[in-house]
Chains A and B, each alone.
Chain A
């Protein structure tokens, strides 16, 4: 089965959902999860073939670089499966009225767009799918439809549109310099045409554009408000999954097109700034949702630092942190669904739902980086890779990451203390509902499974990272024997 279907089916489902829902509300509720399950199955079935050999799909039968090509290597397929699985787990079960049906439609479109982002091998195609992800997320962010949601979403839309226009300018500059949009051909032409100030400027513009979703400093001011104003599932989707896709685009461009060391330096600086601002703001936060939002900015800063390390080692480290965050953050947001709000309100939560409190401790420990949990190994990889690099900037980044660990431990333990505080039974809040708890438990189990199968998981990731860093391999796969129609 062609991985293209992983993009087409959710989109077809989204177009048909309003009609299906008009016919039968029950069908309308089940339609989305059904399509996403089908997607996961297709992805898993395709894994075997893609592991043997990278698939290049020439859409419409038009060969790249004239047509658009989908480049499906292990990294792309991994993210595509993760998107379908993640959206399925975080599906907003909002009810049966028209507003809920529109929300479901938007979620399906988000899944389709994110899958397209993971698979695409063409610069403008990436821009189109990025905008599609953005518009779907605008609708989902404002889905609660109270004043705060509208205001937070509007701020997000303004910043995101600004970023998107800058991204378009960057693409215009790249096209004017090289005359092509295919990533493989750009990789071939980049050393001669894009290594001067023009290329660096184009990179900065595209970085700011993609950085809005990837919560890059300084275009991440929308994050805490939107995550607080939206439903926690949507926050989990945006923070856990969509931000990683934005990061993936930046990584592909760095590996293939923008090879200059200045690009890596910019990424490193912005990553360090992101870690510092994110973790400090999280420390000062007084409600759980904003604390989690700032913490996610900090973690993405760590990922930026990791990806600014050249070579497969940096990719491996960044991938590990990204995948770990993709599992932990949505679970934390799901737990915050019932426990969200002021930290004081969390008091005694452990009495109401001991399982939830236990899961929170597990997730928090992994986020901080306590061995033997996967979070420790991920940060360890980043630190060792950074220490192997020459230069004081990387040393500074290691210091910042270690300091951030201390700060994270401080504010997360503060929450845990609140959870286990003894309060009289009348003041104990509600328990979590079963479905949410099951999903969180599943994610927690995934973490523990990662600990048990650490070695094979690490080797697998290392292989994926090495394949992704292989620039010559990419060019060879997409443009095998020169360029012909």
Chain B
């Protein structure tokens, strides 16, 4: 069997990470899993950007003891990915503080429940009823739109 193509492996890895990340964001219901999926997605994107600098047989762009290598890889994607990694870390750190606060305030990390609580809190603050059917049982205790004295 012929040796596998290096480019194909690396690109599959990058695109694979991206797809796993996107799939995770879209399917997960637990908040921490969503955060981890975002980490995977960003890792995949960074890997893809890194791969654009490769030259077969080229050395790292560092001058050691005054010797300049004959062929060097592209330094620009390395600088770009350095920046992108730090940006990713910053956003992930902030996301974790949000997760901590949500756990304290709402007691749950399930996004479906968080969604419902968010809608309820926003409706309560605005003083309107939740958009439910007029015949629904009054579980939330907030009252339906009609009961709140909706306008004519």
Query: Is A–B contact present in the complex under a CB 8 A cutoff?
Result: yes
Docked Cα-Cα span, A47 to B90, in Å, equals: 36
Q: Does B122 interact with chain A (Cβ within 8 Å)? A: yes
CA distance A135 to B48 in the complex (A): 23
Q: Which of B83, B84, B148 contacts A344 (CB 8 A)?
A: B148
CA distance A299 to B99 in the complex (A): 33
Q: A168-B84, A287-B128, A344-B150 are in contact. Are A148 and B45 (CB under 8 A)?
A: no
Provide the main secondary structure of the chain A interface. Answer: helix
Cross-chain contact A157 with B98 (CB below 8 angstroms): yes
A146 to chain B, nearest CB (A): 7
Q: Are the C-beta atoms of B145 and A142 separated by less than 8 Å?
A: no
Instruction: Tell me the A113-143 residues at the B interface (CB within 8 Å).
Output: 124, 128, 131, 134-135, 138-139, 142
Instruction: Check A225/B145 contact, CB under 8 A, given A154-B98, A161-B91, A162-B22.
Output: no
A38 interface residue, CB < 8 Å from B? no
A146 vs B98: C-alpha distance in the bound complex, in angstroms? 11
Q: Is A308 an interface residue (CB 8 A)?
A: no
B102 in contact with A128 (CB, 8 Å): no
- Which residue from chain B places its CB closest to the CB of A138 in the assembled complex? B94
Asked if A418 is at the interface (CB within 8 A of a chain B CB), the reply is yes
Contacts A135-B91, A165-B42 known; A148 to B145 CB distance under 8 Å?
Answer: no
Which one, B55-63, B64-72, B113-121, B133-141, is touching chain A?
A: B113-121
Q: Tell me which residues across on chain B come within 8 A of A138, comparing CB atoms.
A: 91, 94
By beta carbon, the residue of chain B nearest A169 is B45
Chain A nearest CB: distance from B62 CB in Å? 19
B150:A172 contact, CB within 8 angstroms: no
Using CB atoms, name the residue of chain B closest to A284: B131
Q: When the two chains form their complex, are residues B95 and A154 in contact, meaning their CB atoms are under 8 A apart?
A: yes
Query: How long is the Cα–Cα vector from A139 to B87 in the complex, in angstroms?
Result: 15
Q: How far apart are the CA atoms of A344 and B148 in the complex, in Å?
A: 9
- CB-based contact B31/A161 at 8 Å: no
- The answer to whether A287 and B126 touch across the interface, beta carbons within 8 angstroms, is yes
Would you call B98 and A153 a contact (CB within 8 A)?
yes
| Nearest CB of B to A228, in Å | 5
- Binary contact track B19-51/A, C-beta < 8 Å → 1, others 0: 001100100000100100010011011101100
Q: Is the CB of A161 within 8 A of B38?
A: yes
Determine if B13 is an interface residue (Cβ-Cβ < 8 Å). Answer: no
| CB of B70, distance to nearest CB on chain A (Å) | 20
Known contacts A135-B90, A147-B121; is-contact A169 B18 (Cβ 8 Å): yes
Residues of B within 8 A of A289 (CB): 126
Using known A-B contacts A154-B95, A161-B42, determine if residue A175 contacts B77 with beta carbons closer than 8 Å: yes
Interface positions, chain A 82-133, Cβ under 8 Å from B, are 124, 128, 131
Q: B149 an interface residue at 8 Å Cβ cutoff? A: yes
Instruction: Give Cα distance in the complex from A169 to B50, angstroms.
Output: 11
CB pair B128 A172 closer than 8 Å: no
Q: Which residues of B contact A153 (CB under 8 A)?
A: 98
**What's the minimum C-beta distance from B17 to chain A, rounded to whole angstroms?**
10
Our pick among A131, A175, A181, A414 for the contact of B87 (Cβ within 8 Å) is A131
A195 to chain B, nearest CB (A): 20
Quote the shortest CB–CB distance from B86 to chain A (angstroms): 10
Query: Which residues of A are interface residues toward B (Cβ below 8 A)?
Result: 124, 128, 131, 134-135, 138-139, 142, 145-148, 150-154, 157-158, 161-162, 164-166, 168-169, 171-172, 175-176, 181, 225, 228-229, 286-287, 289-290, 340-345, 414, 418
**7 cross-chain pairs, A with B, having the tightest CB-CB distances, nearest first:** A287-B126, A151-B118, A147-B105, A148-B121, A172-B49, A342-B128, A168-B45
Instruction: Other than A128-B83, A172-B48, give 5 A-B pairs with Cβ distance below 8 A.
Output: A139-B94, A151-B106, A161-B41, A165-B42, A175-B52
